[in-house]
Chain A
Amino acid sequence: MTSSNGQPLLALDDVHVYYGNIAAVKGLTMTVMPGEIVTLIGSNGAGKSTTLRTISGLLRPRQGHVTFEGKRIDRTAADEIVRRGIAQSPEGRRIFPRMTVSENLDLGAFLRKDRDRIAADRERVLELFPRLRERITQKAGTMSGGEQQMLAVARALMAKPKLLLLDEPSMGLAPVLVDLIFETISTIREGGTTVLLVEQNALAALRVADRAYVLESGLLNLEGSARELARDPEVVRAYLGG
């Protein structure tokens, strides 16, 4: 999957992001090639979610560029970024609690006009997560954390993105569900969607990803193929509990 030639789908070039005067990301450079699963791992507060929020346009980098399909998007409005083909399943799920599962899925496809395809994609995500079909008319806020997580991923898929950003999809889930989520990530890639995955569960993330970046205090610490990094003594010590 990792092709070294060709244009990257997403590229970050020396990106700095601040909250007020506090730097959260300090010069991050990374690329995601079409068709890849790339994971961004690191401990709490390393700047992983900040990076995803910046790519989605919820935050503006103070310095550096973000390019998607060769065009700069770091000054583009968040809704326009979704239109260009980036969807995110955000940290903390952020589903719409007072709306039904069905309405949440509709909102995922908010910008799309192709009604037939939307219906087909809805079938597809409901096949991926049969639990959601059972709960389709239920208010999303009344579901369990695991079900809400599935909904957040399903909702992002409804945008039919070229690039799917997943922020901690395994957070707070039972081990069975964690396996299900990571299996689903592989399935999603087979469907032609590129995935950038942020995870604290480094072991599972490295198993499913092609390449990985290790972030520490807003700085890039290591990068490489997921297989190599899973064997790297430093990574094993710091993130894999070796």
Chain B
Amino acid sequence: MTSSAPAVRSPQLAVRARAVAGRAAAILVLAVGAVWLAVNLFHAPTQFFQSAVYGLRNGVLYALIALGYTLVYGIIELINFAHGDLFMLGTLFSAFTLTGLGLTVSSPKGWLGFVLVLVLAMIFCASINVTIEFLAYRRLRRAPKLAPLITAVGMSFILQFVGLRWNGSTPRLWPSVLPAGHFQIGGVNIDYNILVVITVTAGLLALMTWIVTSTRTGKAMRATAQDQDAARLMGINVNRIISFTFAMGGALAGAAGILYQQTVGTTRYNAGFQLGLIAFTAAVLGGIGNLAGAVLGGVLIGVIQGLNDGLPYAFGQEWSQSVVFAILIMLMVFKPTGLLGQNIGEKV
């Protein structure tokens, strides 16, 4: 008995030492980040805020797309790789519809058209997403996890091909109906279209939060996400709830599509690949399956990217992607569940 006692204690000490070392390393990383931000802020405050504003615009778009990943993952534990490409189809739909309606300049008529096409793009992407789930994922629900995952990759290629046939292989620049100017706050330029992006996104997030937390359908969504069979036993039509979830994720991707097309201008058949990957990273960063986490992750990545691209002391634009994924990797080391991810034993 006495001889075995120290052998029992030392692994515990080792575990504790590792936890302390891990926390110290995390604090060190955060401290370095804080110093970096502070140095830039004091050296070039205007540039700092300017970069942050542009980062924020991208960030809210990432957030809208990230929500589509996280909604679907939350409910059927599938990484829907076709989601970024759905967003790309949203940009094309917006470009072709607005131009087709002859709305190419900023005018009251153009703004009205923007609102109309926003709604249409949301309906368009929602319908496609629901169809994809019905045709491709539904019958694989009881299959091993790898099967729907590969199917999702396949759907991604199909959507890209549709985009290729629709838009051609080269990037195309489309006109915008949003006001082009900007105003200044303390030397920082704020584009009018950034305000549009942020207002529309905030409205959609509020609507989505209300649906998920306060409506009967939202309650059924959360129940289905937590335990599908138990949800069935409550009388919830699980198939309908999953369709609704895909519709919601698709609608947000459609909204991101028109906002992207109207602010960035260019789009291309493979625009969804890179943005989708970043948005997926945002969802993981925030804690996949967590709605607030997806928004937080998206905005964080956008702002960090913006700062990295625009600050005097930074890695610069060519390192943009590397910085994003380095942050993801570090977070996964220190907090594998993501920023807001839950780590509670749910299946008791």
Give how many A-B residue pairs fall within 8 Å (CB-CB): 74
A98-B222, A99-B223 known; A108+B232 contact, CB < 8 A = no
Chain B contributes a number of interface residues (CB within 8 A of A) equal to 21
Which residues of the other chain, B, contact A92 by a CB distance below 8 angstroms? 348
Tell me the B303-348 residues at the A interface (CB within 8 Å).
342, 344, 346, 348
- In this assembly, does A33 line the interface, its C-beta being within 8 Å of a C-beta of chain B? no
The 8 A CB mask of A159-175 against B (1 = contact, 0 = none) is 10000000000000000
| A107 and B219 contacting across the interface, CB-CB below 8 Å | yes
Which residues of the other chain, A, contact B229 by a CB distance below 8 angstroms? 58, 90, 94
Tell me the B206-226 residues at the A interface (CB within 8 Å).
216, 219-220, 222-223, 226
The 8 A CB mask of B219-259 against A (1 = contact, 0 = none) is 11011001101111111111000000000000000000000
Chain A contributes a number of interface residues (CB within 8 A of B) equal to 31
Which residues of the other chain, A, contact B231 by a CB distance below 8 angstroms? 107
Q: How far is the CB of A117 from chain B (nearest CB, A)?
A: 16
Q: How far is the CB of B173 from chain A (nearest CB, A)?
A: 46
A141 in complex: contacting residue of B236, B238, B344, CB < 8 Å: B344
| B344 and A97 contacting across the interface, CB-CB below 8 Å | yes
Tell me the B35-51 residues at the A interface (CB within 8 Å).
none
A58-B229, A79-B232, A98-B226 known; A103+B219 contact, CB < 8 A = yes
B contacts, CB < 8 Å to A? 216, 219-220, 222-223, 226-227, 229-238, 342, 344, 346, 348
28 A-B residue pairs with Cβ-Cβ distance under 8 Å, sorted by A, are A58-B229, A79-B236, A82-B233, A82-B235, A83-B235, A90-B229, A92-B348, A93-B348, A95-B230, A96-B227, A97-B348, A98-B222, A99-B222, A99-B223, A99-B226, A106-B219, A107-B219, A107-B223, A107-B234, A107-B236, A110-B219, A110-B220, A110-B235, A110-B236, A111-B234, A145-B348, A156-B233, A159-B234
User: Which 3 A-B pairs rank lowest in CB-CB distance, beginning with the nearest?
Assistant: A82-B235, A78-B232, A94-B230
